[in-house]
Structure 1
Amino acid sequence: MGDTIVAVATAWAPAAIGVVRLSGPDALQLAQRYWSGPKPRPRTAHLGTFVEPDGQPLDQVLLTWFPAPHSYTGEEVVELSCHGSLYVLRRVVELLIAAGARIAKPGEFTLRAYLNRKLSLDQAEAVADLIQAQSEAAHRLAMSQLKGAYFEKVRTFRQKLVEFLALLELELDFSEEDVEFASRAELKRLLQELVAEIERLLRSYRAGQAVRQGIPIAIVGRPNAGKSTLLNALLAEERAIVSDIPGTTRDTVEERLFLGGYELRLMDTAGLRENPADVIEAEGIRRTREKIAQAFLILYVFDAAAETWEEAQAHARTLLGADPLPSLLWVANKIDRLAALPDWPDDVIPISARQKQGLEKLQQAMLNQLEQAGLGQEVLLSHARHYESFVRARAALEGALALLESGGGTELVAEELRTAQHAIGEITGTITPDEILGEIFSRFCIGK
């Protein structure tokens, strides 16, 4: 990291402001080659002119200098806030490269922050999540991870393992003395607690993924139950074709809706029936089943004017192929065609999608289901890399517990704890192979 890197840190599009960022030992020196203005002081924005090599002004800019180690990367950092002309931004970068900087690789600024111990690896991943967050819930999850709530939990796991492992290593050093420095009962209790906590985190993975990527919600039911009309009503615009002909929807229509701080992926599906009219409808039903398997929540829509509650339940169990049924909400549609509402259970939500009646109650019920499913938790597992590391850690901890139960040797128990410690260390970057770093930071934009 002895060189100085440069990149545009803002979006590559015309805008009022565009920021060019430098990081490295020569950041200030390189910027000052083209700077006409007051002498820069630390962490102070200075108004001046960025000039061409012949002295002609290129742009009026703000220069801010962050001396090492008090910067994002832990190195000398200079940020040039220019007018957001693409020509100006391109020319500023060209001149700085000509002076000796090199263009940054994707994620290299954050990689340097990690290597300089300004961020843990999971916090670096949270930076990428924060940039890509599309909803309040995704933003909240990324901020929690960036603030270190997740890191502290993982660090505590690893520290407890390190302490016991040190005692076991001491026993191995004095194996001829037949002494016990680590209480087996206390170690067993600790391992059981860690396994239980890791299992809780692993169970939260699906919710964490849903928050990051958008929560998949499948709208299913018989043909002509009003599923597409409901999608349009929730979106407050005509996105799906609606007709009275059963089987109009042949393929899945997916749209995004922001509700209560969550990004929802609403999936309008082909109507489910036992005997499809043709091969195209049959393929649509097959795809519907795929979406049902992916869904975090199912809205089962039935025509209240043509189907009883009991018939809807029986149909759902037959076609969803599950008993008990997966997480779903029962939606009784077309209540505008009823003279009076039947005596339905409390978990049936009466609506008229066409008349837009009952939609607020349905939306609140959807939010309640998401909260009950744990999507509002502060700490959720949301990265496949973390999930895989915790799976390996759990297996090693369970191996250590089995050895303790069977009276296995200290060296074997210690080896299982080392494996668990190593797996957990990969999450925060305490122990991280180079290929993992390459994969993580390649997903960043160049200026970050």
Structure 2
Amino acid sequence: MSFDYDLFVIGGGSGGVRAARIAASEGGARVALAEESRMGGTCVIRGCVPKKILVNASAFPALMQDAAAYGWQVQTGAFDWDRFQALLTAELDRLEAAYRGTLKNAGVTVHDQRATVIDPHRVRLADGTEVTARHILIATGGRPFVPDIPGAEYAVTSNEMFHLPALPGKVVIMGGGFIACEFACILAGFGVQVTLMCRAGQILRGFDDEARTHVAQGMVARGVTILTGTEVASLQPGQATTTDGAVHPADLVLYATGRVPNTAGLGLESLGVQIGPKGQILVDQYSQTAVPSIFAVGDVTDRINLTPVAIREGHAFADTVFGAKPWTADHDLVASAVFTQPELGTVGLTEEAARALGPCEVYTANFRPMKTLFAGRQDRTLMKLIVATATRKVLGCHIVGPEAGEMIQLAAVAIKMGATKEDFDRTVAVHPTAAEELVTMRKPTRVHA
């Protein structure tokens, strides 16, 4: 049977674009890609990239205060939100154009419309056009959602946070994950009064307990009110009412209680593609579904929902199917960062997970970093290593403090290679830095038998 394309990709985010480009440029495949929104997906258009730019922008008030403490004569004015928005829009336009250019240069045909799957080798575009493909790749990512509560229409999600007409005065954020916490810190940095509510007893569930507690303390010190064990029951214009009956004034309510895979309406279940309880597409290690011609990568599979992971999954798929170089994305020891204030970087096991597996040692350093110490701030940095008692391997590393994301990337290389605590100890410190604490912690803070 002849096909219109060797590969049809549904979704123009990081994973889909990488798969399309590699399959076309290196695998010699005839490739088409459909994207119903902007090219670049969540990360580039309404996620990681604009979020990090907002993080940077919101940090300047504190930086200017520190500059004054260092002796600079600093004059600050009001933040020009409109000007910032224009600059941010221009940057996202540039990035989207770069993504489109990459696909064009690779020879990928782009359809700027929604596509659905109607059989194992056929897709239908929104305009009614049907095309056939030997292989179909689903890379539609995930989306935020607002639960069905009274007044849900008055809430916004992370998607809308990048297009606010003006900065609000008071904000209620529902959620305790990294998106909720990052936006809480961003808004607080801009001078917004922020109340963060989460159902759990602490923010950042799933992260190391000591590290997330350290982050929470730092957020509170920066003016964020954190209410744990709390949930919004209903919304009205200008206020949020919690399940205990308390009323919280709010110019804006942000719901950031999680994301769901974008699988609705794609036509997959009727074809035999297995869908998990969260709506995720179930795949094997090669990202192949129960239908041999259909694959899926990225957040739509709900494996590890991080952009670099989606990119690797997309690349592995393209090399395996079109490049005669079979390999699988490695989901073990994936480092990540939470761009809160203070920042959190993490890789490997938490102390709680390591302790459950067997005897381990915990090494910690908790100190005031030089830069903000000199400026008179009470900020504290946490460095933490978890070490297996028997093998001496470093099982996990957790850093809370300035540039934690940058540091954890480098620590992850050593841990991925199987470094032991003695390997860290043999490494000469770079002084004066915060990162030197990773190689100067000699005695364990805690030992779990």
TM-score interval for Structure 1 and Structure 2 normalised by the shorter chain:
under 0.3
Structure with greater proportional strand content: 2
| Larger-gyration structure (1/2) | 1
Length-normalised TM-score, structure 2 = 0.21
